[in-house]
Chain A
Amino acid sequence: MASTMRSVIEEAPPPAAQDLEKQLALAANFTRKHAIASIYHAGSGHPGGALSCADLLACLFGAELNFWPNAIDEPHRDRFVLSKGHAAPALYAVAAHYGFCDAKAALSLRKLNSKFQGHPHVLDLPWVETSTGSLGQGFSVALGMAMGLKLQQSKARVYAMLGDGELQEGEVWEAAMCAAHHRLDNLCVVIDYNKLQSDNLNSAIMRLEPLAAKWRAFDWAIAEIDGHDIPEILRTFRRAGATHGRPSVVIANTVKGKGVKYMENIPTWHGSVKLSREQAEDALRQLGARGDEIAELLNV
């Protein structure tokens, strides 16, 4: 429960914590810029939900996951599943930042013969744990991984990132019930709760609230956090890792389109949208990119 997870006394941050937080902020910023550039080159894609989850992805890949580019087949690695597969541009960007794939190659997003499909595919990119793009399934696959790892006495953890609109899939609640029943405390669900989905607000399409109460009723350990506050994200993942006997869910409140003012909180930028050169340049400038960097990202 949120209250119990929050009641854990905060540990003093290790000495290098501030450096780490800075690095993660840079990784998140790179993720946003690269995602915008790849969607610009593709001529389509989902920018809103890629920008909203960038800080969470940076914290997972840069700090939380025991998963390294030179050991992607290590049986005891932590697993990450992007169940909201349409945020692929952000996944490719953060993975490129941490050395799992080539950043320039990832700009071929959505093109014929590119390994960087519109939604991640494990047979194209071996560091992707499973193929996603049909909402709800990534969560179930992550659950299967968590179950399989436990059966094989592995200490590895499994993280699944779900979109908020995705929670409308019935399969999500099948998996939520199943993970709690089997006490999969090696499974952590991260919800990118940006409050918007393809066509409109969640609350207009199909109400999710009271969301925390739903997960609590399914007997999950829950935390509600600011999904753009890197220190808070890191603390929460640490606590989730210490949960015993129950799976954990992090409800991360985020802003759809975070970092690009003209996209923030506007459903139109869910996707699949075409970015003009001007829009892409404007977005990159807002994300702090300068002339050279903009040219490098957009003139491929």
Chain B
Amino acid sequence: MSNPALIANSDSLREAFGKTLSSLGDEFPNVVVLDADIAGGTGVHHFRKSHPERMLQFGIAEQNMMAAAGGLAATGLIPIVTTFAVFCLRAVEQARLSIAYTRRNAKIVASHPGLDVGPDGGSAQALEDLAAFRAIPGMTVISPADPAEMSQATRAILEFEGPVYMRTGRSPSRRIFGDDHVFEIGKGQIVRDGMDVTIVACGVEVARALDAADLLAEEKISARVVNMATIKPIDDALLAKCAAETGCFVTAEDHNIHGGLGSAVAESLAQSTPCPIEFVGVRDQFGASGEPEELAQHYGLTAPFIAQAARDAIARKKKSRKKG
């Protein structure tokens, strides 16, 4: 499964991750994959098939797995810790001490983030992981938007030296990028240009942000959409440029509005170019059972909500300019 086009057409981010990792296995002989009895769920069953001798089973015991990754990295291997995002939260302190504080070259790849988990319900939907891992010094935090980007990001984190937390995704994912898409850690991209407002999104929300831009275009509102796959370190330069050119923002993420992409964008803009920001995300609540699209609608994450947030941001911008 080394054909990038085939990988990019995978139906979900976790499948794209698993297939890419498998295809890179020979090129990166130091990679070992750590699993806690959910290889089929995280996508690494592809790696297990291609490189069974480098698949390490830890059983349903994520704390031990996370800290052991630090030890594996200390012997020169590149451990990839794989589990659901919500179970990464269970082992945040192990990631903090035994991976980040020790500056190990270990990667944590979390499937099943956010409401995108769907029917498993609130207990399984990690809406806090970006905040938790972003707060750990030296931790790079990534949430790619589509299978093509996931495939590129998988290579990028293996080439990158240092601890990384990366979200994949459970549900079918819409193709956004072509095979020529270039992912670079720490860089966002303008995926649709516009001048009235900038919508900064990550993960599943990028597709919804593009739909919102279509809705806004019908009202002659020109919305810029930025794919911010790296939440930390955030692309300060791109945000400042968008602030100068559009003057207001919407952030959109499948995560609590506290501590994730929206917070990262607000922190950056507060220090460079303060301007109105509206936050689309889960409003300090837990999730619930339902299909991902139903949940996105229920919690206010779909395109109409992003579009409304954009109108609100533009209104605030106009108001503040009048005052000015």
Contact = CB atoms under 8 A, between A and B. Distances in A.
Contacts of B61: 174, 177-178
A79 B77 CA distance: 16
A174 B63 contact: yes
A145 interface: yes
A140 B63 contact: yes
Interface string A120-147: 0111000001111110110011111111
B63 A130 contact: no
Interface stretch (B8-16, B90-98, B148-156): B90-98
A143 B64 contact: yes
A65 B13 CA distance: 46
Contact of A178 (B64, B70, B94, B97): B64
A181 interface: yes
Tell me whether chain A's interface is mostly helix, strand or loop, or mixed.
Answer: helix
A171 B65 CA distance: 9
A154 to B, nearest CB: 8
A171 B64 contact: yes
A83 to B, nearest CB: 10
Contact of B102 (A131, A140, A142, A149): A131
Contacts of A294: none
Contacts of B56: 147
Given A131-B101, A133-B97, A137-B67, A178 B59 contact: yes
Contacts of A132: 97
B74 interface: yes
B68 A144 contact: yes
A152 B71 CA distance: 13
A144 B71 contact: yes
Contacts of A170: 63
B32 interface: yes
Nearest to A146: B71
Contact of B93 (A79, A134, A151, A178): A134
A122 B101 CA distance: 9
Contact of A142 (B71, B93, B94): B71
Interface string B64-94: 1111111111111101000000000000011
Contacts of B192: none
A147 B68 contact: yes
A74 to B, nearest CB: 12
Nearest to B101: A131
A129 B57 CA distance: 24
A180 B54 CA distance: 18
**The 7 residue pairs across chains A and B that have the minimum distance between CB atoms:** A144-B71, A148-B75, A144-B68, A140-B67, A174-B64, A174-B61, A141-B71
Given A130-B98, A133-B97, A174-B61, 12 more contacts: A123-B103, A130-B71, A130-B102, A134-B97, A137-B94, A140-B71, A144-B71, A144-B75, A148-B76, A151-B32, A152-B75, A152-B76
